[in-house]
Amino acid sequence: MRQLLYVSNTVDELGLADLDQILTASRRNNAMMGITGLLLFIDGGFLQILEGEERAVRELYTRIASDPRHRNARLMLDREVPSRAFPEWNMGFERPCMDDPETAGMFGVAREAIHGRLSPGTGRIVAMMLQTFYAVQNSDLPVNLYYAG
Ligand SMILES: Cc1cc2nc3c(=O)[nH]c(=O)nc-3n(C[C@H](O)[C@H](O)[C@H](O)COP(=O)(O)O)c2cc1C
């Protein structure tokens, strides 16, 4: 199972209709391609984690990276994992309210990543936060947390 994590930025403030379109296409396509993951939209930037069969994930990332609705996609993590960390989400989505101190604390590391303020190699820590978020949202499910890079 391959897991990819990238961040990107948008030029103009993306509209709700754009986000809606991205999510509808993602959930439809990802279900067919066996892709799961999570997409965050923070401060006009994206952070997305994708997991699935290696070829499917790479093809999808190439397509996403050339999507004109964002720019400057940078991979932060590209690793093999023993099993899915987001099995129930063909594409989870969250637009955290960063005015709320608790939410801002939780997603702070994602915001720093989107703004390019993390050192190289910190993708694992961001993935850890996302997996914790998933585990909290799906607390009735067994938790697969991967610390290893
Ligand atoms: C930030 C971002 C994340 C995206 N994530 C996905 C995704 O997980 N799966 C997907 O199929 N398309 C995703 N897309 C959309 C693709 O770039 C592309 O528009 C879409 O796959 C085309 O699908 P369609 O031919 O079925 O319309 C994403 C786009 C953006 C800007």
Q: What is the CATH number of the domain that holds 51?
A: 3.30.70.100
Kindly state whether residue 81 falls inside one of the protein's structural domains. yes
User: Ligand 1: which residue has its CA nearest to atom 3?
Assistant: 64
Determine the structural domain holding residue 109 and report its residue range: 2-137
Count how many domains the chain has: 1
Q: Which atom of ligand 1 is nearest to the CA of 27?
A: 9
pLDDT in tens, 3-39: 999 999 997 778 899 999 999 999 999 999 999 999 9
Instruction: Decide if pLDDT at 135 tops 90.
Output: no
pLDDT class of 149 with cuts at 50, 70, 90 = very low
DSSP string, 66-92: T-TTSEEEEEEEEEE-SS-S-TT-SSE
Please write down the long-range contacts of 28-32, taking CB distance under 8 Å and 24 or more positions apart.
29/60, 30/60, 30/90, 30/91, 31/90
pLDDT class of 142 with cuts at 50, 70, 90 = low
**pLDDT for res 34:** 98
Kindly state whether residue 121 falls inside one of the protein's structural domains. yes
Q: Which position has the higher pLDDT, 136 or 69?
A: 69
How far away, in angstroms, is 77 Cα from ligand 1 center?
Answer: 19
Please list the residues that pair with 8 across neighbouring strands. 46
- How many CB atoms within 10 Å of residue 2? 18
Percentage above 90 pLDDT, the chain: 81
pTM over 0.85: yes
- Specify whether the CB–CB gap between 9 and 70 falls below 8 A: yes
Q: Which of 3-7, 64-68, 143-147 comes out lowest in average pLDDT?
A: 143-147
- CB 91 less than 6 A from any atom of ligand 1: yes
Kindly state whether residue 108 falls inside one of the protein's structural domains. yes
Mean pLDDT of the chain, nearest integer: 92
- CB 42 less than 6 A from any atom of ligand 1: no
- CB 61 less than 6 A from any atom of ligand 1: no
Backbone φ and ψ for 122, nearest 5 degrees, come out as -90, 5
How far away, in angstroms, is 123 Cα from ligand 1 center?
Answer: 22
